[in-house]
Amino acid sequence: MPRTKEQFEVMRKGSRQRILDAALEVFAKQRYHSATVGSIAKTAGISKGLMYNYFKSKEDMLNELMIGMMENLMCEFMPLKPDRKFTQDDIVNFINVGIDLVLEKPYYWKLYFSVFVQPDVMAMVYDKMMEAGKPYMEGLTEYFRSKGEANPEFMMRYFAAVMDGIQLHCMLDPKSFPAETVKKLLIRQFV
Amino acid sequence: MPRTKEQFEVMRKGSRQRILDAALEVFAKQRYHSATVGSIAKTAGISKGLMYNYFKSKEDMLNELMIGMMENLMCEFMPLKPDRKFTQDDIVNFINVGIDLVLEKPYYWKLYFSVFVQPDVMAMVYDKMMEAGKPYMEGLTEYFRSKGEANPEFMMRYFAAVMDGIQLHCMLDPKSFPAETVKKLLIRQFV
Amino acid sequence: MPRTKEQFEVMRKGSRQRILDAALEVFAKQRYHSATVGSIAKTAGISKGLMYNYFKSKEDMLNELMIGMMENLMCEFMPLKPDRKFTQDDIVNFINVGIDLVLEKPYYWKLYFSVFVQPDVMAMVYDKMMEAGKPYMEGLTEYFRSKGEANPEFMMRYFAAVMDGIQLHCMLDPKSFPAETVKKLLIRQFV
Amino acid sequence: MPRTKEQFEVMRKGSRQRILDAALEVFAKQRYHSATVGSIAKTAGISKGLMYNYFKSKEDMLNELMIGMMENLMCEFMPLKPDRKFTQDDIVNFINVGIDLVLEKPYYWKLYFSVFVQPDVMAMVYDKMMEAGKPYMEGLTEYFRSKGEANPEFMMRYFAAVMDGIQLHCMLDPKSFPAETVKKLLIRQFV
DNA sequence: TATGAATGAGGATTCATTCAT
DNA sequence: AATGAATGAATCCTCATTCAT
């Protein structure tokens, strides 16, 4: 009995996701250039050849992975409806989760930062990132305005930059970086 | 008649510098692993082989480059003997120059951040970078102690992280990043 | 539809053997260091890359080759279990076959002697060769002991050296070397 | 005052010899392929470029070296007038010196044996070797004839092969090869 | 004659990608 | 859809040789 088109479609989705999961894992352990297509295939439990039914190339895989990851991160980072106004608690949460996530999923963040330094990848992801991030940036700006900041847009950018700096250092030295103390300081400063 | 020792010395210095300049540019544009020795040679306008008269390996090149870069940056950052205590003016200078340099020498910073994000590359230079940076980190800690901070080491780390975040964003969006306003804010906060 | 495991197995065996054959020929004609992986691949009629599906490195290829060769030679030399004692007939056979083989399989012997003469290459395979040859050396020693030789170990070494000398000259001048007469003399002397 | 042609000639000879000496030393430590022209030049105390005033190529150097070495070895091996008949003492001396030389100048012998396995080098040296060796081979044949051997030419070839085998093994394992015992055995057998 | 910086062909090795089955 | 053997271009690196001085 031949499978229906829907069944095939589901199978494809499943395989695709399994490959992406494997790719994330392998890229996490070895970097993009050291990670071989072979090892990704083995981790995914399929043959090298089959991967090329799902992805045009190794680079294609990386890009798909990054785009998916951005969305994923955004979701966990700010599990709020973007149309609601940010309260002080949201910002506190933003700070806490922002730092905790680095410790929990370091590889996601390594990928995140590595986007910044790869102009070509950056170009691909930039638009999607901006689009996804916009509501949050606007929400933050609004928040700082409501706090009475003279230049709320500036504060938003400053806050974003500081968060990235903290996350970067936290990622580079998760063992000894004083994450908890930094959280308190950030909350005192921005909330 | 052979060239004199001095003539050879001049030739070597020139070639070496040309290679390092090219390496900086290429490593910054493409990342370490993607940057090929061939493309560096082509950028420097010399043959691949010649590079190995000056550097033991590609990795050696990165090392020398990072060391030179650190020294160079440190010089401009803090034109003082590292054994002298940092004054408030030094910190002001640190902030101002730190941000200006990103705009003036983007290659330096792209290389700097790209190394951060590639663990395997980071591993190559970590020791040398730490060694070069240590006196400044200690100087900063001492500065925060003299300011009466309860936890000067923490403040130093926080300050460093914030500076890196600012520099990263400044590098990514040099056109519209509010560099001047940020400088003022940082000075108010840390000096 | 993919090939079965067995089909792949057959393919691998075939390719592996073709590579080893080519390696024997090329290593014997040119010496280890002069023989390029490319020329071996060309002789085997395959791509350079494929060789690395079967051998870790050029050195690994030499090792595998030498091991296979030793086993092969030993087999023909002494079609007995090495744990059984050598009889006079075995030694006669050893001498006869030892000389005939030089004429039949000159590549084997050229490789064998060329390895001897290149200390760095010898170092690569020394251990494995000794291990493979040990039982035969011990068997020979035992044989000379049973013959009542005062110093059987010495005789074994002397016999081995003489055989190598004969084989070397036989290899260098297969046309006019008096192989048959030498056999008779050796048998008279050692059996 | 310009030097005379003869003076120039002498200088050239001197430099040439210095280079060959250096080459022998360097080839002895590292093998032909590992020994770089640069290291030979440094050992000889001259520049790489200058070497090419004296030798067409690195290979040319090796060949010159080998030819010189053959003559040298022959000289030491058989310090007799080739026209005189070999006495028993000469043969004893031949055996003793033949083995001692291997222990004293192992590298000479490694070169000697390596000639055998390099067909192209062999072709170059073969004629010279035969020519130089002929009187000795004839002398040996004559010696065995005078001893009453039925087939003196055969004995000469056998003797030569045995000597080469002994020398080969002695060279490969100078520490533990029972050189003295072998000498006695050879003398008993052939004198 | 003498130097050593510079070249470039060629070496081993890796790995994304293809393709016959 | 699935396999993995096979390819070959690309990588880093070495070193004999050349050449301007």
Burial annotation D98-137 (CB, 10 A radius, 16+ → b, else e): bbebbeebbebbbbbbbbbbbeebeeebeeebeebbeebe
D75/C contact by beta carbon, under 8 A: no
pLDDT top residue among D124 and B61: B61
Length in residues, chain A: 191
Q: Average the pLDDT over D109-115 and give the result.
A: 80
Nearest CA in chain B to A186: B158
Mean pLDDT of chain B: 90
- pLDDT tens profile C69-104: 888 887 877 665 556 788 899 899 999 999 999 999
DSSP-assigned states of every residue in chain A: -PPPHHHHHHHHHHHHHHHHHHHHHHHHHS-TTTS-HHHHHHHHTS-HHHHHHH-SSHHHHHHHHHHHHHHHHHHHH--S-TTSPP-HHHHHHHHHHHHHHHHH-HHHHHHHHHHHH-HHHHHHHHHHHHHHHHHHHHHHHHHHHHTT-SSHHHHHHHHHHHHHHHHHHHHH-TTT--HHHHHHHHHHHH-
Q: Shortest CB distance from A164 goes to which of B160, B169, B185?
A: B169
Integer distance in angstroms from CA C31 to C1' F16? Answer: 19
Statement: residue C22 has pLDDT above 60: yes
Cβ–Cβ gap B157/A166 under 8 Å: no
Integer distance in angstroms from CA D55 to C1' E12? Answer: 29
CA distance C52 to C44: 13
A17 touches strand F (CB under 7 A): no
Alpha helices in chain B (DSSP H): 5-29, 37-44, 48-54, 58-77, 88-104, 106-117, 119-146, 152-172, 179-190
Q: Tell me whether residue D32 is exposed, middle or buried, using C-beta atoms within 10 angstroms of its C-beta: 0 to 12, 13 to 18, 19 or more.
A: buried
Query: Which residues 6+ apart lie within 8 Å of B114 measured at CB?
Result: A117, B27, B28, B31, B32, B121
Q: Average the pLDDT over D137-163 and give the result.
A: 94
Q: Which amino acid is located at C64 in the chain? A: E
Same fold, B1-55 and B58-190: no
Query: Which residues 6+ apart lie within 8 Å of C154 measured at CB?
Result: D178, D181, D182
C46 touches strand F (CB under 7 A): yes
Q: Average the pLDDT over B161-167 and give the result.
A: 97
CA distance A101 to A77: 8
Closest nucleotide relative to residue A60's CA, C1' based: E16
CB D61 within 8 A of CB D39: no
Q: Shortest CB distance from A169 goes to which of B110, B164, B166?
A: B164
Query: B72-86, B143-157, C18-32, C127-141: which range is least confident on average?
Result: B72-86
C8/D contact by beta carbon, under 8 A: no
* Confidence at residue D67, expressed as pLDDT on a 0 to 100 scale: 79
> In the complex, which subunits touch D with 3 or more CB pairs below 8 angstroms?
C
Q: Tell me whether residue A112 is exposed, middle or buried, using C-beta atoms within 10 angstroms of its C-beta: 0 to 12, 13 to 18, 19 or more.
A: buried
Highest mean pLDDT among A105-114, B85-94, D122-131: B85-94
Query: Which residues 6+ apart lie within 8 Å of B143 measured at CB?
Result: B85, B86, B90, B91, B152
Query: A71-85, C5-19, D83-97: which range is least confident on average?
Result: A71-85
CA distance A95 to A183: 7
Statement: residue D134 has pLDDT above 60: yes
Closest CA to B78 of B21, B126, B138, B24: B138
Q: Chain C: nearest CA to D67, how far in angstroms?
A: 18
B158/A contact by beta carbon, under 8 A: yes
Q: What are the extents of the domains in chain D?
A: 1-55, 58-190
Spell out, as residue ranges, where chain A has pLDDT lower than 50: 1
Fold that domain C1-55 belongs to in CATH: Arc Repressor Mutant, subunit A (1.10.10)
CB C39 within 8 A of CB C26: yes
pLDDT top residue among A106 and C39: C39
Integer distance in angstroms from CA B52 to C1' E3? Answer: 19
Q: Shortest CB distance from C165 goes to which of D114, D154, D165?
A: D165
CB B68 within 8 A of CB B21: no
Looking at chain C, the whole-number percentage of residues with pLDDT higher than 70 is 96
CA distance B109 to A116: 12
Integer distance in angstroms from CA B55 to C1' F15? Answer: 15
Closest CA to A31 of B116, B27, B33, B35: B33
* Confidence at residue B7, expressed as pLDDT on a 0 to 100 scale: 92
Integer distance in angstroms from CA B49 to C1' E8? Answer: 8
Q: To 5 degrees, how large is the angle CA A57–CA A59–CA A61?
A: 75
Query: Residue D149: which region, alpha, beta or left (left: phi > 0; alpha: psi -120 to 50)?
Result: beta
Tokens of A61: 């895989």
* Confidence at residue A8, expressed as pLDDT on a 0 to 100 scale: 65
Q: Average the pLDDT over C169-186 and give the result.
A: 95
Q: Which residues of A touch B113 (CB under 8 A)?
A: 113, 116-117
- pLDDT tens profile B99-117: 999 999 999 988 988 888 8
* Confidence at residue A187, expressed as pLDDT on a 0 to 100 scale: 97
DSSP-assigned states of every residue in B49-105: HHHHHH-SSHHHHHHHHHHHHHHHHHHHH--S-TTSPP-HHHHHHHHHHHHHHHHH-
B110/A contact by beta carbon, under 8 A: yes
Q: Which of A:35-64 have CB within 8 Å of B?
A: none
Q: Chain D: nearest CA to C162, how far in angstroms?
A: 5
Q: Which amino acid is located at B161 in the chain? A: A
Query: Which residues 6+ apart lie within 8 Å of A30 measured at CB?
Result: A39
* Confidence at residue D79, expressed as pLDDT on a 0 to 100 scale: 57
Measuring CA to CA, how many Å separate B18 from each of B43, B48, B67, C173, D161?
Answer: 9, 13, 16, 59, 61
Nearest CA in chain B to A117: B114
- pLDDT tens profile D50-81: 999 999 999 899 888 887 887 777 777 665 55
Long-range contact pairs involving C12-17 (C-beta distance under 8 Å, separation at least 24): C12/C54, C15/C46, C15/C50, C15/C53, C15/C54, C16/C54
* Confidence at residue B166, expressed as pLDDT on a 0 to 100 scale: 97
The whole model's pTM is what? 0.85
DSSP state of C15: H
Phi/psi for D106 (5° steps) reads -55, -35
* Confidence at residue D11, expressed as pLDDT on a 0 to 100 scale: 66
CA distance B67 to B128: 7
pLDDT top residue among C3 and A50: A50
Q: Shortest CB distance from C169 goes to which of D32, D161, D178?
A: D161
Q: Which residues of A touch B163 (CB under 8 A)?
A: 165
Sign of dihedral through CA atoms C112, C114, C119, C123?
Answer: negative
Q: Scan for tokens 């020929």, then name that residue.
A: C25
Q: Which amino acid is located at A90 in the chain? A: D
Looking at chain C, the whole-number percentage of residues with pLDDT higher than 90 is 64
Statement: residue C143 has pLDDT above 60: yes
Q: Average the pLDDT over C43-62 and give the result.
A: 96
* Confidence at residue A1, expressed as pLDDT on a 0 to 100 scale: 45
Q: Which residues of B touch A185 (CB under 8 A)?
A: 158
* Confidence at residue D7, expressed as pLDDT on a 0 to 100 scale: 65
Tokens of D40: 């030979």
CA distance D81 to A183: 98
Architecture of the CATH domain A58-190: Orthogonal Bundle (1.10)
